Amino acid sequence: MSKILGLSFFYHDAAAVLLSDGAPVAMAEEERFSRKKHDYDFPESATQFVLEAGNTKPKELDWVVFYEKPFLKFDRVMKTFLASFPTAPNAFVHGIKSLFISKLWIREVISKKVGIEPDKILFSEHHLSHGASAFLCSPYKRAAVLTIDGVGEWACTTIGIGQENGLKILKEIHFPHSLGLFYSAFTAFLGFEVNEGEYKVMGMAPYGRPKYIGKVKKLITLFDDGSYRLNLDYFSFHKSTKETYSSRFIELFGKPRDPGAKFFTHESGWPSYFGLKPEESIFDELAEKQQYYADIAASVQVVLEEAVIKLANEVYKLTGLDKLCFAGGVALNSVANWKILKETPFQEIFIQPSAGDGGGALGGALAIYNACAGGEKKFIQNHTYYGKEYTSQAIKQMLEADNINKNRFEYIEDEKELIKLVVSHLIEGRVVGWFHGRFEWGPRALGNRSILADPRRSEMKDIVNTKIKFREPYRPFASSVLAEYAEDFFEMPNAKNHYPARFMLYVVKVRKDKRESVPAITHVDGTSRPQVVFKETSPRYWNLINHFYQQTGIPMLLNTSFNLKGDPIVNSPQDALKTFQESGMDILILENFLVYKSRKA
């Protein structure tokens, strides 16, 4: 039996994956354990977890695979900073220092931390790992492959072809010409954290009009063959480790958006959870200011979509295949994903749920299993429940140790009874923390670590924001819908066949005649980001939604990730209880335990 450990760290999301005979046994991002969002340090806890879950000792591992090639990356950083020297001496020194200290010596770090001989450690390439993470998890024997991200070693975009258990890259676009870094520069300009706030730009775009496409296109030239070039005068990421855009960018677009400014427009109105509304003239002035930034977000999103669609068309032309496997950070842009399907000849798309760098750990390990260890492509990823789970016994001990008053929780053995009770709380307008089974792989909560509410109540957006999320209107709430009824509510023909929709990776239109029935999950432009829920892969969650459907006629729930703003999604029952206590959530379900906010009557 072959055992392969896949690792990604020292860049974006650190993660560990254990493959047994080519299929994952366990996988997790380190942030869930360390409680540091996007933790990129060596994934010690995640590694320990996946080895324990697979009952595997380090010496039993055949290979450990790192998801990229540190020396190639070093080559890129050296050449880039040397090219900009001496205009960026500080960045140069800083960049070299941070690389030399830790990143180059990956083999030694892994050998020591995992406890394995150095000659068992292999290195994949960053974009090969991305591509493999999509194709080798897909149901396809042959498919086109597209990867787009910020940057790996040199590549920022690749086009390839997957066949049987192999993956061949046909074309690459190299740093500094990066669609990911182009979008990130606007993420920073719009007042959000790079690698975190890209979702917010996407969510803000529907509040704007794409009035500045012409200006945005001064920064990027899109060619008909899908290739593109950035005008580097407007960017700084290639000569600075901190700044992403230059003073010329500011000359063109004006002052960056204040990260502390509240976002609202005349269309969004003033959400009640912002507190007291300013007087009309101040409201108008502030709303207009924010409208400008929403218009920029809309323009950038349109240009990104155009670039991605041109690339996808080129991939189709080069491969002649009608199934696409898509990966890299840009594949998390769920608005663009749906447009690929709508506006290119591709008939099907597969996106692995951890499409960013965390997923590189999975792709690297699968690439080695398939290409080097001679394994067969047999794994198809149709769910994300590969994280840690906790027993009822552990939950009981935790509740008792935490001195939770016995009147505040109860154990409900009868599953039907529990589901009935949870649904009645949801219908009565309560917000429920829903924790059970193994936590999800990737950035989305898909029903095992979720906060749930009634999607029929328009006030739920405000309630969930006021009580728990404290988010601004540009972050719409997603939904989880029974696979059997998804097409009745969303403009998504053959909903059951779309793998990305299982992982909340498509933004689609809510059917016009249904929008009023599910206002809490319908965004300002009439769209939503549904998770299509299958009984086979999510039986307990499916039962819950199904009971809600029987009671209300609506086969879906509002689903948002179980965390407070800025925190990673909860891992353990302790994390869940802490989040529950610190928020305005009403009810907490931990497996079959029901915890109340205050003492039961």
Interface with Fe ion, residue 472, by CB under 5 A = no
Number of C-alpha atoms within 13 angstroms, CB side, residue 37? Answer: 13
CB of 554 to Fe ion, least distance (A): 38
CA 34, 35, 41, 45 dihedral sign is positive
Termini Cα distance of the chain:
56
Q: Which is nearer to Fe ion, 149 or 305 (CB)?
A: 149
Stretch that binds Fe ion, among 105-113, 195-203, 247-255, 350-358 (CB under 5 A): 350-358
| DSSP reduced 3-state for 349 | strand
**Residue the block writes with tokens 């896949």:** 6
Q: Which is nearer to Fe ion, 149 or 153 (CB)?
A: 149
Residues with Cβ within 8 Å of residue 494, at least 6 apart in sequence: 487
Q: For residues 8 and 25, is the Cβ–Cβ distance under 8 A?
A: no
Beta bridge partners of 411: 593
Number of C-alpha atoms within 13 angstroms, CB side, residue 110? Answer: 30
CA–CA separation, 36 and 361 (whole Å): 19
Helix and strand tally (H, E) in the chain?
20, 22
Q: What is the DSSP letter of 467?
A: I
Q: For residues 192 and 202, is the Cβ–Cβ distance under 8 A?
A: no
Q: Which is nearer to Fe ion, 154 or 435 (CB)?
A: 154
CB of 359 to Fe ion, least distance (A): 9
Q: Which is nearer to Fe ion, 178 or 583 (CB)?
A: 178
Q: Which is nearer to Fe ion, 29 or 149 (CB)?
A: 149
**Residues in 35-74 at the binding interface with Fe ion, rule: CB under 5 A:** none
Q: Which is nearer to Fe ion, 148 or 204 (CB)?
A: 148
**By rule CB under 5 A, what string of x and - marks binding of each residue 90-129 to Fe ion?**
----------------------------------------
CB of 29 to Fe ion, least distance (A): 14
Q: Which is nearer to Fe ion, 133 or 299 (CB)?
A: 133
Residues with Cβ within 8 Å of residue 463, at least 6 apart in sequence: 429, 431, 453, 457
Stretch that binds Fe ion, among 98-106, 144-152, 293-301, 516-524 (CB under 5 A): 144-152
**Residue the block writes with tokens 């296109």:** 217
User: Which CA distances in Å does 572 have to 111, 542, 586?
Assistant: 29, 22, 19
CB of 259 to Fe ion, least distance (A): 25
Q: 422, 424, 443: which is closest to 434 by C-alpha? A: 422
CB of 364 to Fe ion, least distance (A): 11
- Interface residue with Fe ion, options 30, 68, 153, 357 (CB under 5 A): 357
Stretch that binds Fe ion, among 28-36, 355-363, 503-511, 570-578 (CB under 5 A): 355-363
Stretch that binds Fe ion, among 70-78, 141-149, 316-324, 593-601 (CB under 5 A): 141-149
CB of 336 to Fe ion, least distance (A): 16
Q: Which is nearer to Fe ion, 72 or 421 (CB)?
A: 72
Which class for 363: exposed (0-12), middle (13-18), buried (19 or more C-beta within 10 A)?
buried
CB of 357 to Fe ion, least distance (A): 5
Q: Which is nearer to Fe ion, 125 or 591 (CB)?
A: 125
CB of 550 to Fe ion, least distance (A): 43
Residue 187 in tokens: 């993420």
CA–CA separation, 504 and 445 (whole Å): 9
CB of 217 to Fe ion, least distance (A): 25
CB of 441 to Fe ion, least distance (A): 16
CB of 16 to Fe ion, least distance (A): 17
Bridging pattern class, strands 323-327 and 142-148: parallel
Interface with Fe ion (CB under 5 A), residue total 2
Within 10 angstroms of residue 76's Cβ, the number of other Cβ atoms is 18
* Buried-exposed string 393-417: b where 16+ CB fall within 10 A, e elsewhere: eebbebbeeeebeeeebeebeeeee
Q: Which is nearer to Fe ion, 180 or 555 (CB)?
A: 180
Q: Which is nearer to Fe ion, 39 or 149 (CB)?
A: 149
Q: For residues 318 and 289, is the Cβ–Cβ distance under 8 A?
A: no
Q: What is the CA radius of gyration of the chain?
A: 24
Interface with Fe ion, residue 149, by CB under 5 A = yes
CB of 179 to Fe ion, least distance (A): 12
Stretch that binds Fe ion, among 147-155, 346-354, 383-391, 483-491 (CB under 5 A): 147-155
- Residue with nearest beta carbon to Fe ion: 149
Interface with Fe ion, residue 348, by CB under 5 A = no
Q: In 54-178, which ranges are continuous DSSP H helix?
A: 70-84, 89-101, 106-110, 126-135
Q: Which is nearer to Fe ion, 126 or 469 (CB)?
A: 126
∠ at Cα 204 (274, 29), nearest 5°? 95
Q: Which is nearer to Fe ion, 70 or 455 (CB)?
A: 70
Angle formed by the axes of helices 280-319 and 334-343, to 10°?
50
Q: Which is nearer to Fe ion, 358 or 375 (CB)?
A: 358
CB of 275 to Fe ion, least distance (A): 39
| DSSP reduced 3-state for 145 | strand
CB of 467 to Fe ion, least distance (A): 35
The footprint of Fe ion (CB under 5 A) covers 149, 357
